[in-house]
Structure 1
Amino acid sequence: MTPRVVLTAAGGALFVLAPLLLLLTGHTEIVTSSDEGAGGRPLWTAVVPALAGMALVRLLPPSRPSTVEAQPPDRAAIARQVRWLVGIAVAFPALVAIAGAQSLAYPLIKVALFLGGALLVTRLIRAGLPPAVPVRWFWVLPAIVGWGVLAFRVPADLTPYEDLDRVYLATAMTVTFLTASVLEEFFYRVTLQTRIEALAGRWPAIVATSLLFAAMHLPSHLGGDHPWVAVAGIVAFQGFFGLFTGYLWSRYRRFWPLVAVHGAVNALPLLPLFT
């Protein structure tokens, strides 16, 4: 088997085993936020919406031009970019674990690596990428709506946030939008996934990027008496979310849907606090 097949199969097995293990061991609720006191959400609200959204992405539009050539230009240069970008993705959780997930250094590390590091790599190592052919914007809407209807069907527990100053909360939400909804999608999907896809194809790129995206949440979510439960929960929530957004990017090649769904995950559950 080729390395790309092995990568896809191994990563796919993790996405099957993680929710299955949680289900079989009775962990049917997972903690999706690192905020102190955040409650759990049903496991199905992490897995089912992502799978339903991906099914809609697959069906709409019925077909689209391929964005990956069999032999993309500057293959060696793209490979060098990928190595450095994967290094950045691995370095981020390591640095956050040292600095502390709740440290003020957290957003600074993210900006330095995901923006500064990514731009530095792509500017110093020049590589031509296969041309992207974005689909018409309205094809994206059914997938987002279908995912959202299922993802937000169960209201979030807002108890930990009720006593927070609303100005502080709005400021924190704005910072989260810029550093997570915008910056994380720019780095993981637009920058990293696009380049892995040019080398290895669609699904190896989506799987690898989704696992790296899930791994970035380890320092902030890992804890408790059973770390394996936290790891499986990260794969089930952040990992499956990465599969959905990765497939959105691969099929549609539009940035705003990624920002929209990521922003919705972080912000929509908190909006009732402002009414």
Structure 2
Amino acid sequence: MKVYNQNKLHKRLRRQVGEAIADFNMIEEGDRIMVCLSGGKDSYTLLDILMNLKMSAPVHFDLIAVNLDQKQPGFPDHILPQYLQSLGVEYKIVEENTYGIVKEKVPEGKTTCSLCSRLRRGILYRTATELGATKIALGHHRDDILETLFLNMFYGGKIKAMPPKLMNDTGEHIVIRPLAYCKEKDISAYAQLKNFPIIPCNLCGSQPNLQRQVIKEMLNDWDKKFPGRIETMFRATQNITLSHLCDTNLFDFKAIKKGDTIVNGGDLAFDREEIPAVSFDASNIEEQNMILWQEVN
């Protein structure tokens, strides 16, 4: 049964990674992909699937796994080299004491994620240049993308998420996220079945009340109460109607004049019948009425 479940998950993840690569043209002939490996379930899964795809892909590409050893106390620095050697994949361990810098610069009790992320990003970009990598692959998945969307809406006042493919600020590096279509729960199950040697992050993962953790819990709660909602929300990021939002920089609302061609269905977008019905539980009618109101308003 374990082998069956592992094969089933592998096929699903492989298909979803392949779709993302094709949809966004993530990997091209002759690419040298630097796979950023943290020691967590996501990056292990990313490397595993890419190594498998490499054997049958219609284009030739090379992989090099890179881990940044941030010199965290107690970090088991032997695990990743042993694992990568067992795979026979090219790899590089980069040693930089970002842990010490973060602890020195960030006051006790404050979240370390922002500074840590900037330091890691700079080091990884430098390493990609040194290694001649044409793409940098990160292990962010579908749930990470949605969490970032809500973080930006709730705390930044922006509709903005993690793109599956982007050019960095200097224009020197292309970053890809091949797991963009993959569910975190599938990745977690796959990592457990594959028995990856997970290395926990004790720098930021244990910090309580992180905004991202609050968003994650909210989405997980929605997923339990309303099956399919997460999938629908992710599809929404691929189905954007600019004429029905409010950004005057992206859509010329001022140019709309009487008699013009109707844009994106005009006011038909607000018709109530287009919104799926909500199932009711008679034992809790008041709560269900509130849910329905929130859905249609």
Same fold at TM > 0.5: no
Of Structure 1 and Structure 2, which has the larger fraction of its residues in strand?
2
Would you tell me which structure has more helix in proportion to its own residues? 1
- Structure whose CA Rg is larger: 2
TM-score range, shorter chain: under 0.3
TM-score (norm 2): 0.24
